[in-house]
Every structure is written in C-alpha cells, then in structure tokens.
C-alpha cells in the first residue's frame, strides 16, 4: 500500500505543456489527482495539452503561461494557480533546458536552477504546517548527469548537481517534522523525448557537442521509454521518504539511492573533522 496518496491532490507542474511534464500530468490524473496546473512558455502547445486532458479528466486541468527564467512570470503564474485552485499540494519542478551553448546557457541556468529554487521557496511558504499550511510534496527533477562526469555539458550538469544538493541541505531534520513538506529529488536518466534531440548543438562549443552526439552511439546509451520514467515517478511519489533521492534510468524500476548519496556525504564529513 502506498505511503503517500496522489488521490485528491492539486499539482503544479512546470514545463508541463509537452514531453515528460505532460506525461506526468496525465499519470497523476489517472491516479486520482484533484486538479493540475500546467505551466510553460509554449502557449499553444500548453493550451492544446490542457484541452486534450480536460476531455478525458472532466476539466481538471488549467494552463498558465510561465517563463520559468523570469521571476515576474513565476509570481504571476503562482498567483493565477492559487486564484483558481486555492491550494497547491504538490509542485513538480520539471522545466529544464539541456543546452550549454554560448547564447543559451544563462537562460538555461535560470530555468534549471533559479526558477526551481523560486517555486520551491514559494511552495514552502504556502505549504508549511507550522505557519498554517497543509503540508505537501515538492518534486525536483535532477538528472543522472549529477552522478557522473559529463564533459560536454558542464553547465547543465552543474545546475542539476545544484538541484540535488539543494534538496539535501533543505531537508535536514527536523525540516519535515516542522513543516510537513516532503522534498523528493529524481535523477532522471536519458529518456526518449525532444530534450535529447540535436545533441550536436547542445554543447558549450561545437567540438564537444559533436563528441556528445557521437558518444551516444559509441557508448550504446539507452534512451529509456517515457512510460518507464513516468512509472518511476509514480512509485517515487507514493513511496519516497522525505528528503529521498531516486534514480530513474535504463527502463528499470525506480531505485532509492539516498543511502549511497548519504554515504558520500558521511565520507566527506569524516575527512573534514578536526
């Protein structure tokens, strides 16, 4: 039996117009979500996704335009969702840009990192039980690039490592006991979505971009099916302890890797002891 229920919860999903965000939304609705807000910069796609889901799920979905790299958009979107639903139980910080190219990396970093932090902090203020909230769950999507060296994407990898460490620092006890807010981090592996198309133009320079694209072939990288990534997210939501970190990769079941990460932290803590 699941420890945490999706049934009756209101979700806010960034990057929700298409790709994994839209698939997460559909999966949560199938499992009894009360309502879902899709936030994205892609207006026409987002509206179409909301319309499609509303035909199946009795008008439980809204779309709100939001450029996650801009704080004014985040504030406006947050207020719009609260005006519609009154309460937000779950935030899924899914929006991401996997591009280190010179003309993109600053915006990408704002989306991958600063936008995620902003939504997380707004969620904490809204949800925390010690200040009158109802508690809740915040799911931050990191990546398997946080766990390995990825020379072609150092900026993207750094932003995703920040996401993982942010969650770990934030959830040190007694955070959950005081706030009632569960923060989960998902390390998502290579998944067959548009995010992994045109790899040769995603590096911080053309040479490393080509090397990245070539390595996918030479290393035999498996692009997991989106359905596998969705199943991992559902399992993580229903079973993930506060502060836990989960691996979703290679079409395998979700794996709680918190003990492994904790052991690394413990090793360095011992090294730094006087």
Geometric angle at alpha carbon 111, from 105 and 114, rounded to 5°: 105
Q: How many CA atoms lie within 13 A of 37 on its CB side?
A: 25
The Cα 45–Cα 39 span in angstroms is 11
What sign results for the dihedral spanned by CA atoms 263, 266, 272, 274? negative
Q: Is 204 a catalytic residue?
A: no
The Cα 220–Cα 187 span in angstroms is 20
The Cα 152–Cα 207 span in angstroms is 9
Predicted TM-score of the model (pTM): 0.94
| 190 close to 249: Cβ distance less than 8 angstroms | yes
Check 24, 156, 204, 265 and give the catalytic one: 156
Residue-wise pLDDT tens for the chain (274 aa)? 669 999 999 999 999 999 999 999 999 999 999 999 999 999 999 999 999 999 999 999 999 999 999 999 999 999 999 999 999 999 999 999 988 888 899 999 999 999 999 999 999 999 999 999 999 999 999 999 899 888 888 999 999 999 999 999 999 999 999 999 999 999 999 888 776 666 655 777 777 666 665 665 446 567 889 999 999 999 999 999 999 999 999 999 999 999 999 999 999 999 999 8
Q: Quick one: which of 234, 117, 239, 110 has its CA closest to 170?
A: 117
The Cα 255–Cα 234 span in angstroms is 12
Q: HEC states along 117-143?
A: HHHHHHHHHHHCHHHCCCCEEEEEEEE
Domains, in order of start, for the chain: 10-192+223-271 (3.40.50.720)
In DSSP terms, which residues pair with 171 in a beta bridge? none
- Which residue is associated with the tokens 């009894």? 32
């Amino acid at each position: 039996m699941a420890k945490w229920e999706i049934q009756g919860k209101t979700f806010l999903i960034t990057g929700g117009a298409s790709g994994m965000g839209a698939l997460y939304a559909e999966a949560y609705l199938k499992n009894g979500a009360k309502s879902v807000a899709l936030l994205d910069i892609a207006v026409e796609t987002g509206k179409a996704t909301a319309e499609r889901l509303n035909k199946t799920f009795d008008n439980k979905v809204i779309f709100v335009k939001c450029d996650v790299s801009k704080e004014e958009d985040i504030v406006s979107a947050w207020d719009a969702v609260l005006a519609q639903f009154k309460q937000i139980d779950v935030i899924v910080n899914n929006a991401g840009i996997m591009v280190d190219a010179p003309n993109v990396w600053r915006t990408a970093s704002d989306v991958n990192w600063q936008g995620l932090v902003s939504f997380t902090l707004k969620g904490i203020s809204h949800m925390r039980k010690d200040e009158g909230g109802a508690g809740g769950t915040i799911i931050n999507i990191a990546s398997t690039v946080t766990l390995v060296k990825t020379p072609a994407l150092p900026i993207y990898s750094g932003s995703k490592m920040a996401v993982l460490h942010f969650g770990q620092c934030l959830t040190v006890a007694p955070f959950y006991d005081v706030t009632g807010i569960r923060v989960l981090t998902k390390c998502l592996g290579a998944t067959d979505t548009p995010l992994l198309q045109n790899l040769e133009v995603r590096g911080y320079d053309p040479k490393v971009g080509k090397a990245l694209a070539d390595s996918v072939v030479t290393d035999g990288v498996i692009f997991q099916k989106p359905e596998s990534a969705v199943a991992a997210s559902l399992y993580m939501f229903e079973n993930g302890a506060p502060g836990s970190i989960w691996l979703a990769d290679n079409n395998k079941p979700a794996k709680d890797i918190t003990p492994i990460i904790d052991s690394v932290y413990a090793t360095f803590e011992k090294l730094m002891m006087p």
